[in-house]
Amino acid sequence: MSHNDPQRPARNVLTAPGQYRIKLRKPKADFVHAHDDGTVSSRLWFETVDGTLYFTKTYGTRYAGSLAMLVGKFSGRFTEALPEQGVTPEEFIRFLAPACDIPLDVEITTAPVIDKTTGQHAEYKGVPKFSYSIRFPKLEKGAAKAPTIQKPIGGEAIEF
């Protein structure tokens, strides 16, 4: 569905902590940035399965281990970390591809971002800013996928 589609549900920034069924959206090449120090990063878009709530987090090759863990948790298999330098934006997108559009039950904690100059809740284009922490369920020994969380927000539970 396009952004102008009246059938599409309205999207809102995720503001409440809780258990959610989310998926990672594949980043567009325009939003993957190669930096002067040789690293690559992108602001990754996460949304609930029903598409009504979203949040973003920045990941890159500077902290390649966290990026590999993210891809591994969503894809359900171990993933070697990318090298810190020398990765092209196209390779970065290919690395993320196995994790994209796969629903996963997670626990998300939120915290308001405080504007350092005013001491108030920061906003961007009138939308409050939050920082997010994703907690993935632990895999049981020998399990191929994480167990489902009871009553996730943003979609029906999927049997693994």
Buried b (16+ CB within 10 A) or exposed e, 42-71: bebbbbbbeebbbbebebbbbebeebbbbb
Q: Are 38 and 84 in contact (CB under 8 A)?
A: yes
The ranges assigned to domains in the chain are 12-135
User: Rounded to the nearest 5°, which phi and psi values hold at 137?
Assistant: -65, 150
Average pLDDT over residues 55-64: 91
Q: How confident is the model at residue 8 (pLDDT cuts 50, 70, 90)?
A: low
Q: Are 120 and 89 in contact (CB under 8 A)?
A: no
Q: How confident is the model at residue 159 (pLDDT cuts 50, 70, 90)?
A: very low
- Please work out, in degrees rounded to the nearest 5, the angle formed at the alpha carbon of residue 123 by the alpha carbons of 121 and 128: 75
By three-state DSSP, how is residue 16 classified? coil
% the chain with pLDDT above 90: 50
Q: Are 87 and 62 in contact (CB under 8 A)?
A: no
Higher pLDDT, 147 or 26: 26
The radius of gyration computed from the CA coordinates of the chain, to the nearest angstrom, equals 17
Give the N- to C-terminal CA distance of the chain in Å, as an integer: 27
- Average pLDDT over the chain, rounded to an integer: 83
Q: Are 56 and 70 in contact (CB under 8 A)?
A: no
